[in-house]
Amino acid sequence: MSVELPFAPVDTIIRRNAGDLRVSADAAEELARRIQRRGSELAIDAAERAREDGRKTLMASDFGVEQVVPRNELELPIAPIDRIARLDVDDRYRVSMDARIALADILEDYADNVAGAAAKLARHADRRTIQAEDIETYFSLFE
């Protein structure tokens, strides 16, 4: 599976949770891969809700979001989020702009949680760099 999400914004999210720790490129790549997988799973569920309602457009409410944050408050770019939402969903579905922003917000919160935990794991291992193994350890422990 190719990764649609650029690593730079993911690296930024990790860094805002890292404090004085460094971030390896592999950590950003691993988290981007996990974000993409999670986004695709959420989009499949959202498409099912839209199908049940007889719609061909995914809406923010299909992702469980009633209040959409302003787009400029997000670190994750919207275009790759749109591609992630369509990865495993039937091509007949469209994704509204509010749904893209809602999904980006959900995935950014998800990334913040993982990055914060990965920073704790790196500190616990007495390392100064968050590595891909910290991301992997988080998922082996909590998912």
The model's pLDDT over 24-63, given as tens digits with 9 standing for 90+, comes to: 999 999 999 999 999 999 999 999 999 999 999 999 999 9
pTM: 0.95
Phi, psi for 139 (deg, rounded to 5): -70, -30
For 116-130, write each residue's pLDDT tens digit. 999 999 999 999 999
pLDDT at position 2: 77
Residue 77 has pLDDT above 90, yes or no: yes
CATH class for the domain made up of 7-142: mainly alpha
DSSP alpha helix (H) spans, the chain: 7-18, 25-52, 78-86, 97-124, 132-142
